[in-house]
Amino acid sequence: MHIHKFEKIWLIFGVTTLLVFLSVIGVSAFYLGNQPPSCLATINPEKVDTTAPFDKPGLNKVEGKEWDYELVYVASAFNYTPGEVEVPLGAKVKVLATTKDVVHGFNVAGTNINMMLEPGYISEYVTTFDKAGEYLIVCNEYCGAGHHMMSSMIKVVE
Amino acid sequence: MNSFVEKIKKVDSRDAKLGMAHFYVAFIGLFIGGMAGLLQTLVRSGQFTLPAGIGYYQLLTLHGVVLALVMTTYFIMGFQLVSVSRTAGTLTNKQRNTGWVGFWLMTIGTVMAAVMILLNEASVLYTFYAPLQAHALFYVGLTLVIVGSWVSGSAIIMAYVAWRRKNPGQPSPLLTFMSLVNTLMWIVATIGVATTVLFQLLPWSLGLVERVDVAISRTLFWYFGHPLVYFWLLPAYMAWYVIVPKIIGGKIFSDSLARLSFILFLLFSIPVGFHHQLMEPGIDPAWKFLQVVLTFMVIIPSLMTAFSLFATFETFGRSKGATGLFGWLKKLPWGDARFLIPFIGMLSFIPGGAGGIINASNQMNQVIHNTIWVTGHFHLTVATAVILTFFGISYWLIPHLTGRTLTKAMNKLAILQGVLWAIGMTFMSGAMHFAGLLGAPRRSAYSEYGGAAQAAEWVPYQIAQAVGGSILFIAIILVLYIFINLAFFAPKGEEEFPVGEAANTTEKAPMILENWKLWLGLVVLLIAFAYTIPFIDLIENAPIGSKGYKLW
């Protein structure tokens, strides 16, 4: 099979670019720890309200962990509990969320806090809120007739 | 072999009838789905509410099912069947009847699914994620569509096998080879969605089992969901590789490399579904990354394709005396809709493909996952690159099959249609990309989210989407007008079914490219490598399953 010289150059250039992209993603994921939310913990979706930490939704101060607070959300059609929360500026927070019914999304709009919530699974993501302001959480996975009404608010305050 | 192809330039009228049956359904689907799309953009602008109790998500389900699943599958099956008939010879009665059985199975399934959507019994969107539970007949309908496509696909496989038997040691005709690759990929991929529908969702919706495993169902869906987009794309590549060169009067850059790129698509399209599930719990991030790497592999055949196409264009331009770095551009037949419309599609695949690389990259996916950026992305890829190419194919294929011709007036209208599409899509898809970066979610009706400041920032982009959507709908009306003209009213005559020839006719494609035991074996190995362990993990660590919900 004959490959034209220019095509060889083009493919070498293209494949090298792809390798560079993959290296950047890989180093960021495995060396810097920027993995997508992939929590492996499970939960009984019918007993969420009585299972820790989801029995106490909201911002909870924790000691002796890599993060200062745990921000716990319970999602169900068509709302999040808590509906609004204040987070101190600069706090390192582990966001934990799960759903009691169908699949929901959990996106702090305009940020990279973006997780799927699936019945039976816990989703979590560690982040630092380093900019004051109001952050809208929207459900970004279709969950039924009231899907577009499903939201919550994080207020990052000094 | 060339003389053999030369003799059968016209698709046999019985095969033409089979092809046309597919195209009627496809274009009816285009009208219904396009109408739904227009209404969705109007709703999201905040200036319009749906009449007569129609739900936004009911409409969205219709839009997705009718366009992404029905219109595309019918067009592709019809196009592939007539391409095989044109290049490997008229179908035998048995092959043609098999094609008809597939057509009717798909059609019965489509009608069942559509009725359930219209009755508001299946507003689960075209991805039907459990534990939202649609009416059992919706799942039965989808199963029939898939099984029907397998039956149609087997007609293509039979025709290929028969040709190979008649021509031992010869590489198969290029369009037949490509149709076969796409059919094989489709069959391997649809096993995933068929498994979840038949063994999980259908018994669960019938009440035979109480609970369903959501994560496994999603994983099986996305095992199918990504090759689905390549199933749409490869017929467009068939036109770009084989048909467009003939239309401009040039040659296929390299027959062997075209085949090689299709083999690479067969290998790497399937074991990549996790890049749609990067934000999901229950899957180890190392396995996600592995599938991201495999996803990047599938970019290589697209790079090869881009090179081949532009090499064909440049070689042709220079053969007509073009000079300078870009002089060859002037020699291309810009006034010919059969060239211009697919060409606009090719151009849109450049930002479309670049967006795809962003979407598949773990960390960047976190920014755009399930935002309307994603909707903007696939409206560039499938709803521009692929669909414009399908329209470009229709403008010569429909008159070829109906024994009519594309008149100058219709050609002009077709060009206007392509330009309107480009303008409308620039507005709509562009606005979707920008709004997505700001966090606006996809698949959502108009909402002010309790007066949140961030949500207010999205509204101007949503209005731009409605402007784009309206322009696109005008373009759809033009497409349908041209289709009806070409099917029923255009003057009788001979319209060519253009099939290109390779620039180097002495170079024979290596026969290893037709060694299906090898390629399908590799496909199975790659899938087993990418999916076995994460799948076992999902089963072993499965939480209690979910009961069904009907929340619409």
Residues B451-483 have pLDDT tens digits of: 999 999 999 999 999 999 999 999 999 999 999
B349 given a catalytic annotation:
no
Interchain CB contact of B538 with A (< 8 Å): no
Distance (Å) from the alpha carbon of B515 to chain A's nearest alpha carbon? 16
If pLDDT is split at 50, 70 and 90, which confidence band does B47 have? confident
Average pLDDT score over residue span B33-44: 95
Beta carbons within 10 angstroms of residue A28's beta carbon: 16
**In the A/B pair of chains, how many CB contacts fall below 8 A?**
239
- The per-residue pLDDT for B503 is 87
Interchain CB contact of B131 with A (< 8 Å): yes
Contact between chains at A38 and B288 (C-beta distance less than 8 A):
yes
Q: Which chain A residues are closer than 8 Å to B279 by Cβ?
A: 36-37, 114-116
Instruction: Find, in chain B, the residue whose alpha carbon is nearest to that of A22.
Output: B293
DSSP state of A94: E
| pLDDT tens for each residue of B12-32 | 999 999 999 999 999 999 999
B275 given a catalytic annotation:
no
Distance (Å) from the alpha carbon of A43 to chain B's nearest alpha carbon? 6
- The per-residue pLDDT for B3 is 46
Interchain CB contact of A60 with B (< 8 Å): no
| pLDDT tens for each residue of A76-124 | 999 999 999 999 999 999 999 999 999 999 999 989 999 999 999 999 9
- Residue of B219, B279, B295, B372 to mutate for A, most A C-beta atoms under 10 A: B279
Contact between chains at A142 and B307 (C-beta distance less than 8 A):
no
Task: Please report which helix (H) or strand (E) contains residue B512, including its range.
Answer: none
Burial of B149 (0-12, 13-18, 19+ CB in 10 A): buried
Instruction: Tell me which residue of A36, A54, A112 sits closest to B283, measured CA to CA.
Output: A36
Residue type, A145: A
- Helix orientation angle between B93-118 and B56-63, rounded to the nearest 10 degrees: 170
Q: Which chain A residues are closer than 8 Å to B449 by Cβ?
A: 136, 138, 149, 151
CA distances from B20 to B25, B75, B106, B243 (A): 9, 9, 15, 19
User: CATH classification of A45-157, choosing from 2.60.40.420, 2.60.120.10, 3.50.50.60, 3.40.50.2300?
Assistant: 2.60.40.420
B165 given a catalytic annotation:
no
pLDDT at B7 over 50: no
Distance (Å) from the alpha carbon of A148 to chain B's nearest alpha carbon? 5
Domain ranges of chain A: 1-35, 45-157
φ, ψ dihedrals at B440, nearest 5°: -65, 130
B135 given a catalytic annotation:
no
Q: Which chain A residues are closer than 8 Å to B122 by Cβ?
A: none
Please state, in angstroms and rounded to a whole number, the distance separating the CA atoms of residues B485 and B510. 43
Q: Which chain B residues are closer than 8 Å to A78 by Cβ?
A: 551
Interface of A with B in 69-108 (CB under 8 A): 77-78, 101-103, 105, 107-108
pLDDT at B5 over 60: no
Contact between chains at B544 and A118 (C-beta distance less than 8 A):
no
**Cβ neighbours of residue B536 under 8 Å, at least 6 residues apart?**
none
Average pLDDT score over residue span B438-450: 94
Q: For residue B500, how many C-alpha atoms fall within 13 Å in the half-sphere facing its CB?
A: 25
Contact between chains at B215 and A46 (C-beta distance less than 8 A):
no
What chain B holds in terms of domains, given with CATH numbers, is 333-507 (1.20.210.10)
Contact between chains at B132 and A144 (C-beta distance less than 8 A):
yes
Token digits of residue A74: 């319970």
> Which member of A38, A40, A142 has the closest CB to residue B57?
A142
Average pLDDT, chain B: 94
Beta carbons within 10 angstroms of residue A8's beta carbon: 11
Interchain CB contact of B544 with A (< 8 Å): yes
Pair type for strands A69-76 and A92-99: parallel
Instruction: Find, in chain B, the residue whose alpha carbon is nearest to that of A20.
Output: B296
If pLDDT is split at 50, 70 and 90, which confidence band does B283 have? very high
- The catalytic residue among B22, B44, B377, B404 is B377
Task: Return the percentage of chain B with pLDDT > 90, whole number.
Answer: 93
Please state, in angstroms and rounded to a whole number, the distance separating the CA atoms of residues A80 and A75. 5
pLDDT at A34 over 70: yes
Please state, in angstroms and rounded to a whole number, the distance separating the CA atoms of residues A144 and B442. 14
SS3 assignment for B475-495: HHHHHHHHHHHHHHHCCECCC
Please state, in angstroms and rounded to a whole number, the distance separating the CA atoms of residues B483 and B487. 6
Q: Which chain B residues are closer than 8 Å to A108 by Cβ?
A: 439
Instruction: Find, in chain B, the residue whose alpha carbon is nearest to that of A139.
Output: B441
| pLDDT tens for each residue of B289-319 | 999 999 999 999 999 999 999 999 999 999 9
| pLDDT tens for each residue of B398-422 | 999 999 999 999 999 999 999 999 9
Do A105 and A138 contact (CB within 8 A), yes or no? yes
φ, ψ dihedrals at A124, nearest 5°: -145, 155
φ, ψ dihedrals at A110, nearest 5°: 80, 5
Average pLDDT score over residue span B160-179: 96
DSSP A51-74: STTTTS-EEEE-SSSSSSEEEEEE
Contact between chains at A46 and B544 (C-beta distance less than 8 A):
yes
**Partners of residue A74 on adjacent β-strands:** A81, A98
- The catalytic residue among B23, B378, B390, B497 is B378
